[in-house]
Structure 1
Amino acid sequence: MVDQSTIAHMTRNEADMAFKKRVQTIFDWVNPQDDSLVLDMPCGRGFYLNMFNYVSDCTIVGAELDWPIIKKAQANIGHLDLPLHNANLYHLPYADNTFDAVILSEILEHVDDDVAGLKEALRVLKPGGVVVVTVPHANYPFLWDPINKTLETLFNTHIQNGIFAGIWANHVRLYTMEQLREALLGAGFLIEEERSFTHHSFPFIHNLVYGLGKPILEAGLLPGDMEKAANRLTFDDNDGSPWNPINIGLRVFNFFDRKNTMNEPEGRSTVNLAIKGRKPHVGT
């Protein structure tokens, strides 16, 4: 099991408090061993691949649909020489019963047929293998995305694209726990554990981090020390200066996060839902 201090170190540059909880959840449930074979789909820019490589000798494989994102992952973590594959969730290029664990973090909300995607994950998992799924919660906190929450409440609509898209950015749906549970059961998984997390947050944090901060970071507009403190990949390089504006902002965001737990009470608004599923052994 990866210890809490290591998780805290790897997420010390993180402004998205829900992402920090996702990292903790994924490592808790995958629990990588040196002989584990793990698939991260979609691997995005390589953040989870980098973390798994940092803490374990397991084999971590990245799969991603979008070529431009694969190119960014190669630029970020190419020096680690990890497998990166162009792949569609509906048709993964792997044999049956290949992986010990599959990470499906923030993908099901993007696809039209989530059960079909989960069935493909089930196919490539070994019997007894684990799937870790995280999705955005339909009952999300007002302060996380006030614009969309107001639009949903008053006009039954939301913004899906652009700087104001918030939690709905490019998403087909948000989930209730019942909907997520039904999708995994429908695909053939056994459900072992559920979590719902990140209730308290800085106002408009999703828009600030992803609508404003991410484009500035990726455009290379931050000075060196600020960039090192803002980049998820450079947690070892942040000198922790209390005068760095990024570190000041992170302390503010962490102040709001201090009351959050890894699993909030049922019925409470949260940013994310997570489920740990397991592929049944033959005959079970």
Structure 2
Amino acid sequence: MKVDVGNVVGNAEAKYDHPNPIARRLVAGFKRAVGDLYLRTCPESVLEVGCGEGLLADSLIRLRRPARFEACDVDLSRLAPDLHPDLTFQTASIYQLPHADRSVDLVLACEVLEHLEDPAAGLRELARVARRAVLISTPWEPVWRLLNLARGRYVRTLGNTPGHIQHFSRRALLRLAETRLRVVEVRRPLPWTVILGEPR
């Protein structure tokens, strides 16, 4: 996944299908938290922004299939094979989503805001498009970096994952969310923060 201005915003490591059993367990907790909040909203239309390989969208649509499930990213070259056939993908930037105001029941952006030069502008666009709910998540800092260091990853950058240019504590992400959303629920699967909110 790449940001529109050419910055690398992801890494080559498998995020949702990691070979390490501890990492798989952590990711399972993340997916469970996101899935629970997704099901809570009962959306008939969904837009995932910053979909990367499309694996999160694939797991969500298999939990509950809405009438329309779209996913977008600025670079769709890394889409996984054999994704659910009812998913539709398009190239789009979080800063300029090709959707009308209040046109999608649920808009989600998981593991996206930490890659943005201007996360407030990205969140503003998510809230503009959302009719009922916005679901966001970011790594929980500094725990994320400490866990990277504990497993010997990204030591030269003190555990910072390539492409992470914002670092959100739980309080910082909540403060950002509250600028555009009425926060409904916060989940804390280690080492992430997941927030469901209603657009203001």
- TM normalised by structure 2 equals 0.78
1:173 pairs, out of 166, 183, 196, with 166
Compute the displacement of 1:51 (Å): 1.7
Compute the displacement of 1:88 (Å): 0.2
* Gapped regions of structure 1 (runs ≥ 5): 1-9, 152-156, 160-165, 199-270
1:16 pairs, out of 1, 5, 24, with 24
1:134 aligns with 2:137: yes
1:192 aligns with 2:184: yes
- Secondary structure of the residue aligned to 2:137 is strand
Give CA deviations for 1:61-98 in whole Å, capped at 9, x if unaligned.
Answer: 111111422xx34x342x61421010100000111111
Contact 1:32 1:56 in 2 (8 A): no
Provide the identity percentage.
Answer: 23
Letter in 1 for 2:175: E
State how far apart, in whole Å, the 2-side matches of 1:182 and 1:139 are: 17
Letter in 2 for 1:63: C
Structure with larger Rg: 1
1:121 aligns with 2:121: no
State how far apart, in whole Å, the 2-side matches of 1:35 and 1:17 are: 27
Contact 1:194 1:274 in 2 (8 A): yes
Give CA deviations for 1:134-180 in whole Å, capped at 9, x if unaligned.
Answer: 1011131644432469x6xxxxx725xxxxxx552211022111211
Contact 1:45 1:76 in 2 (8 A): no
Q: Which has the higher contact order (CA 8 A, sep 6+)?
A: 1
1:66 aligns with 2:75: yes
Distance 1:194 1:55, change over 3 A: closer
State how far apart, in whole Å, the 1-side matches of 2:95 and 2:41 are: 27
Distance 1:196 1:35, change over 3 A: closer
* Gapped regions of structure 2 (runs ≥ 5): 1-15
Distance 1:113 1:32, change over 3 A: same
Compute the displacement of 1:16 (Å): 2.9
State how far apart, in whole Å, the 2-side matches of 1:158 and 1:183 are: 25
1:48 aligns with 2:56: yes
Pick the structure with more helix per residue: 1
State how far apart, in whole Å, the 2-side matches of 1:57 and 1:29 are: 15
State how far apart, in whole Å, the 1-side matches of 2:87 and 2:143 are: 35
Provide the residue aligned with 1:253 in structure 2: none
1:279 aligns with 2:192: no
State how far apart, in whole Å, the 2-side matches of 1:43 and 1:65 are: 9
- TM normalised by structure 1 equals 0.56
State how far apart, in whole Å, the 1-side matches of 2:113 and 2:41 are: 26
Task: Give the paired residue count.
Answer: 180
1:108 aligns with 2:101: no
Contact 2:115 2:165 in 1 (8 A): yes
State how far apart, in whole Å, the 2-side matches of 1:28 and 1:180 are: 20
State how far apart, in whole Å, the 1-side matches of 2:147 and 2:104 are: 38
State how far apart, in whole Å, the 2-side matches of 1:52 and 1:38 are: 10
Q: How does 1:179-258 map to 2 (within 5 A)?
A: 179-186=172-179, 188-198=180-190
Contact 2:58 2:87 in 1 (8 A): no
1:93 aligns with 2:98: yes
What do you get for the CA RMSD once the two structures are aligned?
Answer: 2.8
- Secondary structure of the residue aligned to 2:108 is strand
Distance 1:67 1:48, change over 3 A: closer
Pick the structure with more strand per residue: 2
Contact 1:168 1:174 in 2 (8 A): no
- Secondary structure of the residue aligned to 1:43 is coil
Contact 2:73 2:90 in 1 (8 A): yes
Provide the residue aligned with 1:158 in structure 2: 157
